[in-house]
Structure 1
Amino acid sequence: MTTQGINHLGLTVLDLSSTTNFFTKGLGWSLLAKDESYPRTTVSDGACRLTLWQADTSKPVTAFDRKSNIGLHHVAFEVSTKEMLFALADKIRSWPGVRMEFEPELLSGGPRMHMMCLEPGGIRVEIIWPAS
């Protein structure tokens, strides 16, 4: 093998501040870096690192359509317990700008469970409890 996993995932978002707050305050991630001159932040949960880039809203922006755009379909994060999955659903369900696609439900017949939402910047986020 020549590579050793993902160093970070770079995502362009509609509102950098809202998305950064979603990850840091909503999901409890750490803010690692912030660069106002090239609007971006870097956040991490200790295992995964995301670089969030502000979309240039002086030009027309197009929301992502997972069925017709090439690129990121969604990003999935794992939680260690079923209780954590439901606790996060309770917390982010009413988070400003979040759209719940579906609440926690069985994944492929269970016992695994997952949920899906769009965070305030428009990125589709899945949270999975692997039941193992």
Structure 2
Amino acid sequence: MAETLGLNHLGLAVADLNKTTAFFVDVLGWRETARDESYPRTTITDDQMRLTLWQVDTACPVNGFDRRGNVGLHHLALEVASEADLLKLADKVAAYPEVRVEFLPEFMGTGPRKHMMFAEPGGIRLELVWMGT
């Protein structure tokens, strides 16, 4: 039996705190629930999951996201309610400035599940998933 109760929050270091926060709020409909300019960081939520976004120190050399070369985050997968929601959100994501789309919605395996992969403007690799039910 697990000694933990599940994910409390996930902390992500981001290249541009304001751009990443704005993407989650403006495109994905999340809410910003806290901001601390002294660190700086924000906390955002979709009412199911909470993320803490931390601004990297740009006075130091900053390494971009590398899912193959760095230990840690490979991607963050977020579920959507329907195929129609996935397709609508894919259009919105693809049109957003500085988003890098890896692939638009396609079947996972033989389907009916579908997903898409992209990097938000701050460089975090995200996946949107519709479970096909």
TM-score over 0.5 (shorter chain): yes
Equivalent in the alignment of 1:22: 23
Corresponding pairs, count = 132
Equivalent in the alignment of 1:66: 67
Equivalent in the alignment of 1:125: 126
Q: Determine whether 1:6 maps to 2:13.
A: no
Could you state the TM-score of these two structures normalised by the residue count of structure 1?
0.98
Provide the secondary structure at the position in 2 that maps to 1:58: coil
- How much has 1:55 moved relative to structure 2? 0.7
Instruction: Give, as a single letter, the amino acid of the residue that structure 1 aligns with 2:116.
Output: M
1:71-86 matched pairs, under 5 angstroms: 71-86=72-87
Provide the secondary structure at the position in 2 that maps to 1:42: strand
Aligned counterparts of 1:58 and 1:94: Cα–Cα separation in 2: 31
Provide the secondary structure at the position in 2 that maps to 1:91: helix
Deviation sequence 1:63-116 (CA, Å, 0-9, x none): 121111100000000001000001111101021111001000000110000000
- How much has 1:28 moved relative to structure 2? 0.3
What is the CA RMSD across the aligned residues, in angstroms? 0.6
Equivalent in the alignment of 1:43: 44
Aligned counterparts of 1:96 and 1:10: Cα–Cα separation in 2: 24
Aligned counterparts of 2:15 and 2:69: Cα–Cα separation in 1: 19
Runs of 4+ in 1 over 4 A off after TM superposition: none
